[in-house]
Structure formats: C-alpha cells, structure tokens
Amino acid sequence: MTSQDVIHSFFVPAFRIKQDVLPGRYTTLWFKATVPGRYHLFCAEYCGTNHSGMGGDIVVMEPQDYAQWMAGGPSAPLQETGKQLFVQLGCGTCHRFDVQGRGPNLTAIYNKPVLLEDGRTVIADENYVRESILNPTAKIVSGFKPVMPTFQGIVSDEQLNALVAYVKSLAQPPPGTAGLQNQPAASPAEPQNVQVQ
C-alpha cells in the first residue's frame, strides 16, 4: 500500500486490522477473509478535509464467483502494463540488456543487494525501485552517472505501481534463458532486462 501525499490508516473493523499507509513508500498488510460478504474499510487517521469520505469495501467471494469476476476484469496483468509503460517512456534506451547501457541492467535485480556510488549497499525492494523512478539521484548505482531524469509528476501512482510490478517480474528470467542475462535482446522494443538507478 502507498499514499500519494499524506499518511492514511487503512482500517477494516470486521477483520480487526489496521495499517498505516505512507507517502513515498510501500507498507503491507496480510489477512485471511473466511466468510463471503462485503466489509467496510475506513481511514482511521485524520488525513485532511475529505477524511470523512475516505471509505470503501472489501468484497469476499466464493472461489467460483471470484473466477467469474476475474474473467470480466482487466485483460493485462499489472506487470504487462508496466512493460508497456517501460517501452513508451523510453526506459530501455538506457536500461539495456547488455553492459553498455547508460543505466544499470534491471534483470533479476529485485530484492537483491545493489552497491551504490557512495559505497553503501541497499536492497532493491519496492521502496528502492519506487524512489529510483521518482528521485533517481537519491541512490546512484556504482559505476553509473546521475543522468536519469525524474518521473515525479510524469507517471501517476497507478503507472508507478505498474512499473514497479514490471521490475519485480524481472526477478525470474524467462524459462530457457538462464545464464543469458548479459546477452543483447532480440529487439529493443521488447525489454526483458532493466535496472533502476
């Protein structure tokens, strides 16, 4: 979960769970709903003038009902939308599939250690990928120059989530491509290996 601008508190009274939602980072919450139905959710922390309107529902369905609902849902998974954005925004120009790119290679980077220019090592988790897209000069990868522009105000939160999902999907190379991480791609329009500065 993430927020665009202020702190929220995701609260589902029926499940007895509450978790802060913070701007600029991801937080997670896990629960297991066992009874089908519609359960109200609220923001339990004053977040501004429209705080009282911050609400929604969690719909818990039987597996067959969920499958039917999913069949009418969006046709492309989130990571596919992210892949399309990656191409549209020209990210593959610098984040190439070989070692010659102006930006690091993103293949299998997710949840792995990244050596920074200042000597620190960080883990490339969701928060790191998100920060690298919005504030690319915050943590420069060792061996690369701070040339990546910011995408703050250019991509929406939904698009940002899709880009993060795409980078996460690159954690596992496609079947039959093990050991080919530094090979050039067949087509620059089809990115498979990318990395965020």
pLDDT by residue (tens digit) across 134-167? 999 999 999 999 999 999 888 888 889 899 999 9
> The tokens of 125 are what?
């988790």
> The tokens of 37 are what?
């139905």
User: Are the C-beta atoms of residues 192 and 185 closer than 8 Å to each other?
Assistant: yes
CATH at 150: 1.10.760.10
In the chain, how long is the greatest CA-to-CA distance?
54
Q: ∠ CA 11-14-18 to the nearest 5 degrees?
A: 25
Q: Are residues 63 and 128 in the same domain?
A: no
The model carries a pTM of 0.57
Domain final residue pick, 19, 52, 71: 71
